[in-house]
A and B are shown apart, each in its own frame.
Chain A
Amino acid sequence: MSLIIDNVSKSVDGEIHLQDIHLTMQKGSFNTLLGPTLSGKTSLLRLLAGLDKPTSGRIMMGGQDLSSIPVWKRNVSMVYQQFINYPHLDIYENIAFPLRRAGLAKAEIDRKVRATAETLRIDELLRRSPGELSGGQQQRTALARSLVKGADLLLLDEPLINLDYKLREEFHDEFTNIFADNRDTIIIYSSTDPLESLLLGGDILVLDEGRQLQHGPTHDVYRNPRMEAVARVFNDPQMNMINGRVENGRIVLGQGLTLPRSTHMTDLREGKYRFGLRANALGLSRASADDVELEARVELGEINGSETFVHIHHNEVSWVVQEDGVHTHSLGQVIRVYFNPEYLFAFDEKGMLAAAPKYVPGSGTAEE
């Protein structure tokens, strides 16, 4: 059973929320929906759930147009950002709720509820009420309820965004197990966090301002962002973008930082380009003999979890360097940063990808 989103658009009061979304997802696939806030992720999930109707286009499931099927007859589950559970029911009854509505036999309901609760490690809490649980446990309950009925379509709308950093990491580890033996469900997981998408793997749909920018296997999209906008959305901190040109067989970045043309750039025609460099491709120490050295002034040091983002200024251009671990830099301090030109992306004047590095640090997979 495949899900076909056929040229779907959605606008509300003249404001466009989604425009010409067109893609197919296969049964058993795991898909992330990546985009910044207001990019249309929730709008798309609500259309797929049947909670809203598309302004134009069709959504098909297993060859059947879903538009005439009301929400309660579709076999869809959704987990929200907020922790939504039935406050008047205990955890057991919360998980059993969709099964009771479906009219399953008592023994089967009991078996399924207990198995799912165990998977989500809330089997000790079955007689508690949602109000007595922590945020993480409440979201586990909501996840259990969405998993237990074996829906054709499981929609997860930034389910971890309201949890703290530690709990998010815990969930990420568990998700790999929970979703590992999924064969029948199409799972769509929306996220604003590029790192989360990379961790979860599967396929990705990159959305920005209601438009579908790129759809494909997550790691392929990370390595070959089709356009500058994808690279922008799919990196945190954002990819460093520097105006430059290819001139006399060499690459010129910004105000005259001249580099030799690395192997993946040999096919580039002469002309203007925007060069992209991920923050994690820049380092404060020399990693190889090919590294280019920049002398730059520190503008800001930003500590983000277990990483430090150092904002630097070099020759009229601002860069962000991602440094592992927590470090402090004094403002205005002059430091040396290094990068390998092998890691440069090149986008043409229309913003489309012209050259992508062969190796990508931090993509999380073994390099070919």
Chain B
Amino acid sequence: MLGLYRFLKYSAILLWSAFVAGPFLWALTTSFKTSEGIVSGATYIPWLQYKPSLDGWGVLFRRGGQGIDIVDPYLASLTVTLSASAISLVLGTLAAYGLSRFSYKAGPIKNADITFFFISQRIMPPIVLSIPFFLMLQAFGLLDTKLGLIIVYVALLMPIAVWVMIDFFHNIPVELDETAMLDGCRPVETFFRVILPNCKPGLVVAGLFCLIFGWNDFFFAFMLTFTKTQLLPVAVVALNSSVTPWWSLSASALVSVAPLVILAFVVEKYLSRGNLAGAIK
């Protein structure tokens, strides 16, 4: 009985892994092929079935002239995503701590309303925001600049950080803050010395969400840039399959997802919340 259960369990896991990893492997093999390798039908095993080549990859890094250059969009994407995520994480964490620990009141507006205001930014369809953002960036002369995109991304990513961190702070008993204050910490010291060090799993989750959403965004990157600044998703989509060979397209897709895949492996241990549970009862 147990044998059958295990057999089914591992079969299911294997099937799902194949489903998830299949496209990656396909793109990976394709990226090392040449035109001969592709037209000769479905082949999967390098050296045995086809002769691997770095031509497809080389095209990506050829600056100017023939081929495409994704180095600049890559660096632009890294700059914009990392800056916007870092700013969102810092501001979002502070905002979430404030909202979880102190009562704010401005007329009828209270903590719950402020929290909803943050969250509602993500409920709205992004297209609603596109024209206001466009006009605002235009007014400040920030269209087609990295700074403009960073500002827009902070507006989009901070609600995610606030959302994740509020939930996290609510699970830290306020008695921990109070104990720190009774032990001689001012409120700011309480936050940095006691609360923040216990938030690592939450910060990792919030940071990861920010990076994923920021890195993957196509819509605003497309709307708010033209020629000077180009982000990776826009650059990749702009590749035309009738001009760019399939093996280069595959290579560009792989380099696009690479940072997130590597990141997921690095932070994997933080993603199980069991790290904090049990420390505070």
Q: Which residues of A contact B (CB under 8 A)?
A: 49, 51, 70-72, 74, 76-78, 80, 82-88, 97-98, 101-102, 129-131, 135, 138, 145, 149
Contact = CB atoms under 8 A, between A and B. Distances in A.
Contacts of B254: none
Q: Report, nearest first, the 10 A-B pairs whose CB atoms are least far apart.
A: A87-B279, A101-B184, A131-B279, A98-B183, A88-B197, A71-B181, A131-B278, A84-B175, A72-B181, A80-B175
Interface residues of B, number: 21
Nearest to B200: A88
B239 interface: no
Contacts of A87: 198, 276, 279-280
Given A82-B173, A85-B279, A86-B176, 15 more contacts: A51-B182, A70-B181, A71-B181, A72-B182, A72-B184, A82-B280, A84-B280, A86-B180, A87-B198, A87-B280, A98-B182, A101-B183, A130-B279, A130-B280, A149-B183
B105 interface: no
Contacts of B183: 72, 97-98, 101, 145, 149
B217 to A, nearest CB: 34
A72 B179 contact: no
Interface of B: 173, 175-176, 178-186, 189, 194, 197-198, 276, 278-281
28 contacts: A51-B178, A70-B181, A70-B186, A71-B181, A72-B181, A72-B183, A72-B184, A72-B185, A72-B186, A74-B182, A78-B178, A78-B179, A78-B182, A80-B175, A82-B175, A85-B280, A86-B176, A86-B180, A87-B198, A87-B276, A87-B280, A88-B194, A97-B183, A98-B183, A98-B184, A101-B184, A138-B281, A149-B183
B279 A49 contact: no
Contacts of B179: 78, 80, 84, 86, 145
A71 B280 contact: no
A113 B6 CA distance: 51
> Of residues B176, B182, B189, which shows the largest number of chain A Cβ atoms within 10 Å of its Cβ?
B182
A84 B182 contact: no
B185 A83 contact: no
Contacts of A78: 178-179, 182
Given A82-B173, A82-B281, A130-B279, A77 B198 contact: no
Contact of B182 (A76, A83, A88, A135): A76
B171 to A, nearest CB: 12
A222 to B, nearest CB: 32
Given A72-B186, A88-B197, A88-B198, A83 B181 contact: no
B137 to A, nearest CB: 41
Nearest to B279: A87
Contacts of B189: 101
Given A84-B173, A84-B176, A71 B182 contact: yes
Contacts of A145: 179, 183
A56 B279 CA distance: 38
Nearest to B181: A71
A129 B279 contact: yes
A80 B176 CA distance: 10
Residue picked from B173, B175, B178, B184, most chain A C-beta under 10 Å:
B184
A102 B175 contact: no
Contacts of A130: 279-280
A86 B182 CA distance: 13
Contacts of B279: 85, 87-88, 129-131
B218 to A, nearest CB: 39
A149 B185 CA distance: 14
A46 to B, nearest CB: 9
Contacts of B173: 82, 84
Contacts of B194: 86, 88
A186 B231 CA distance: 65
Contacts of A131: 278-279
B139 to A, nearest CB: 44
A51 to B, nearest CB: 6
A49 B178 CA distance: 10
Nearest to A74: B182
Nearest to A145: B183
A135 B181 CA distance: 23
A64 to B, nearest CB: 18
A83 B182 CA distance: 15
A135 B281 CA distance: 9
Quick one: which of A72, A80, A83 has the most chain B CB within 10 A?
Answer: A72
A72 B189 CA distance: 10
B198 to A, nearest CB: 5
A103 B153 CA distance: 43
B175 A77 contact: no
A87 B200 CA distance: 12
Nearest to A97: B183
Nearest to B280: A87
A348 B197 CA distance: 60
A104 B104 CA distance: 37
Contacts of B197: 88
A129 B281 CA distance: 13
A83 B176 CA distance: 10
A5 B181 CA distance: 22
